[in-house]
Chains A and B, each alone.
Chain A
Amino acid sequence: MQLALSPEDQAFREEMRTFFTTVVPEEIRTKVLEGRELSKEEIAGSMKLLDDHDLAVPHWPEEWGGRGWNDLQRHLYLEEMQAAGCPVPLAFNASMIGPVLAQFASQEMKERFLPRTKSCEIWWSQGFSEPDAGSDLASLRTSAVKDGDDWVVNGQKTWTTLGQHGDWIFTLVRTDPEVKKQAGISMLLIDMTSPGLTVRPIELIDGGHEVNEVWFEDVRVPGENLVGEPGQGWTMAKFLLGNERVGVAPVGATKAALARAKRLAPERLEEPLVAARVAELENELLALELTALRVVAHSADGEPHPASSVLKLKGTELQQAVTELLVDLAGPASLASGTDEGALPDWVHRTVPTYLNYRKASIYGGSNEVQRQIIARTILGL
């Protein structure tokens, strides 16, 4: 047992810290740390900047731009990125479709998509969830029917995050209604400018436009856009959702948010109940970070560590708890959500929208109830 990082890991951490705090523009980092919304250009530009330094997709296969880092290095990279407020590379590109294509797609498809996915030249959207297929994803109904060389797609996807910016959408579609529901699913890549494809905004409780419905009405998709083989979609979806053991919990971002809360309202820390609440949150965050380190330091190659579910579950709870703390620190001023000006401190305006927005965290990526189910079944054998 050894507490300190090795000199090499320590140097690596310093290198990351220096990069994120000097190369990435401060203006955009401040925006992230303050929880303000980023434009498409800011997110894509930031990913492009990382890619210019080979830092957008370090976990991809080296052949396609990965760095061959170990899990601990990836953890340190993500922690330093979040602590500095650098926008995290677009998850749909970097963590979702990129690794799936690298694993399952034909050489031709990889060459066609991976370089532009890495640089964010293509903005990917995710077309998985449907109105009747949320946590029960395998019940999805959007159909793709072969017509000549093309697939003709009909149906509706929902909760498509930032779909209003999307150039392409990777979808799970039912290509065979006759077989067991998981076996009839395929993954299809669809150009979002295709005729018959419509994106409609869903207004959320924070007043923002973050997610969308995506409708498909006889959308024709070239046969070559099917990833791998028909019927492999469920395997790919499980790979996409289940292969993460690094970065499952947003530890760095939550730590930065809590430290910021202390800076914004130092006078409130003189109240014993507030100080105790903050101290308890800090301790739980410490426990979470150390658990994440245990996971990354000792994962068998390729196998997700079972404690990943703990990270998702607790990580999102703490992320939400810090947004809740900020609302309480703002107090009556938290009501003033509809303006950025006036007599109140700047930071209070975003507290409640952020709090409401982050209720999503315990729902997406496998709801926390799904995580409990995974823990009970696969870890505890219940």
Chain B
Amino acid sequence: MDFTYDDEQDALRDAVRGLLGKAYSDFEQRRQTCKADPGFSEQVWSQMAEMGLLGLPFSEEDGGVGAGPVEIAIVCQEIGRVIAPEPYLHAVVLAGGLVQACGTPEQRQDVLGALASGERLLGFAHDEPGSRWAPTASAVTAAQDGADPDGGGWTLTGTKEPVVQGARADQLVVSAALPDGGTGLFLVDAGATERTGYPTYDGGRAAQVTFDGTAATPLGEPGRDLAGSIATVQDIARIMAANIAVGAMETALRTTCGYLTSRKQFGVTLNTFQALTFRAADMYVSLELATSVVSWATMVLQTGDPARVRDAAARAGLQASRAGRHVGQEAIQLHGGIGMTAEYSVGSYTAVLTALDHLLGDGDHHLADLAATVAGHGAIDPLAVG
């Protein structure tokens, strides 16, 4: 039982903090970056590639670094601290994670190598009108034209939305209903689709992506139901999203406390008023509890057991959702009017926390999963092994 980083992990954290902290040390830099398409800094993305961050989770033979969940979590927390708009979670953890989990050796080398070097941006086209975080697809369907012995001839038809960074992405990993049932994954040249991009409230970009008999390459073995793999990669991404949320909450709380000790009203600083400091104390409680569960879930990820990861992802997701709403809402309220402005940072942190909350399942979604199994166990033992 050890919640601390080793020396190499400390060094990684310092390096990422150096890069992202420098890029977005002034909130105005982030704001301007988000204003212009593609909503993130291509330069920062390249620097992240140079530092090896974009290939962090992938094996060395696939062009990656072969790091573990703790390292990915460190990157995510640092992203959260400055709410860096780079699409790390979507491109690396989700889309890259699916290629790693399901791709053939050739696909992994080609796609992950290009992702890790920063030359190709991946997107994950999964959400559909009416969908709610399931690991399956129905609005986009896959068809195979004739009986191609090489497994080729696949096309996709239908609409995905919202696809994060769908308009900027070079290549999409697309989930689609298979002709014989189940959900498959496909690699699609993003340029071959019809894309309508738009800005999102968290400073990012999303798109409607339409497929109309668009050529697609099955990821891995053609025709195989990959819903289980999608679910596991979603769980990994849930834990990483929660790590981003922890970083964002830390900054939101620190910023709020800084404001309470500097802003004067009635001739005194706001921290004179206990009604405000007690609420800040409650924010701290929420943050500490969420941090504990998220760190634990990250360690559960190290075990590699999908069933345990699923449980841990739901628990981390629930705690981060509840804490994110609490901290985000109070951060604005304790600031007062300034917290409502786009120019000041704290409202954007609340926006990012809201986006993270709804990306892969909100608190109620996770709670429903946990409630369904609540009768099946006695007390929970977080230290249980095996």
Which of B100-108, B150-158, B283-291 lies at the interface with chain A?
B283-291
Residues A2 and B1 in contact, CB atoms below 8 Å apart: yes
Q: Look across to chain A and name the residue whose beta carbon is closest to the beta carbon of B70.
A: A1
Which of A238-246, A355-363, A369-377 lies at the interface with chain B?
A369-377
How far, in whole Å, are A287 and B327 apart by their CA atoms in the complex? Answer: 16
Give the A interface residue count (CB, 8 A). Answer: 55
Q: Specify which chain A residues have a CB less than 8 angstroms from the CB of B268 in the assembled complex.
A: none
How far, in whole Å, are A63 and B296 apart by their CA atoms in the complex? Answer: 37
Complex partner residue of B284 from A275, A288, A375, CB under 8 angstroms? A375
Q: Does A272 count as interface, using CB distance less than 8 angstroms?
A: yes
Interface residues of A in 15-50 (CB under 8 A from B): none
How far, in whole Å, are A1 and B239 apart by their CA atoms in the complex? Answer: 15
Q: Specify which chain B residues have a CB less than 8 angstroms from the CB of A62 in the assembled complex.
A: none
How far, in whole Å, are A287 and B297 apart by their CA atoms in the complex? Answer: 11
Residues B293 and A276 in contact, CB atoms below 8 Å apart: no
Interface residues of B in 184-240 (CB under 8 A from A): none
Q: Specify which chain B residues have a CB less than 8 angstroms from the CB of A287 in the assembled complex.
A: 289-290, 292-293, 319
- Classify chain B's interface size: 35 or more
Q: Does A259 count as interface, using CB distance less than 8 angstroms?
A: yes
Q: Specify which chain B residues have a CB less than 8 angstroms from the CB of A9 in the assembled complex.
A: 1
Mark A113-142 against chain B: 1 for CB-CB distance below 8 A, else 0. 000000000000000000000000000000
Q: Specify which chain A residues have a CB less than 8 angstroms from the CB of B299 in the assembled complex.
A: 1-3
Mark A285-312 against chain B: 1 for CB-CB distance below 8 A, else 0. 1111111011001100000000100100
A contact face: mostly helix, strand, loop, or mixed? helix
How far, in whole Å, are A279 and B380 apart by their CA atoms in the complex? Answer: 11
Q: Which of A5, A10, A294 is the most central at the interface, judged by chain B CB atoms within 10 Å of its CB?
A: A294
B contact face: mostly helix, strand, loop, or mixed? helix
Q: Does B164 count as interface, using CB distance less than 8 angstroms?
A: no
Residues B295 and A290 in contact, CB atoms below 8 Å apart: yes
Interface residues of B in 245-289 (CB under 8 A from A): 253, 257, 260-261, 271, 274, 277-278, 280-282, 284-285, 288-289
Residues B378 and A262 in contact, CB atoms below 8 Å apart: yes
Q: Does B147 count as interface, using CB distance less than 8 angstroms?
A: no
How far, in whole Å, are A178 and B221 apart by their CA atoms in the complex? Answer: 87
Residues A291 and B2 in contact, CB atoms below 8 Å apart: no
A9-B1, A276-B368 known; A3 vs B289 contact (CB < 8 Å)? no
Interchain Cβ contacts under 8 Å between A and B, 23 examples = A1-B2, A2-B2, A3-B302, A4-B383, A5-B383, A9-B1, A10-B385, A72-B1, A269-B374, A269-B375, A275-B371, A276-B371, A279-B374, A283-B318, A283-B367, A290-B292, A290-B382, A291-B288, A291-B292, A375-B285, A376-B280, A380-B257, A380-B284
List A residues at the B interface (Cβ < 8 Å): 1-6, 9-10, 13, 72, 83, 255-256, 258-259, 262-263, 266, 269-270, 272, 275-276, 278-280, 282-291, 293-294, 297-298, 307, 310, 313-314, 369, 371-373, 375-377, 379-382
- A-B CB proximity, top 9 nearest: A290-B292, A287-B289, A376-B277, A3-B299, A275-B371, A375-B281, A279-B370, A372-B281, A382-B271
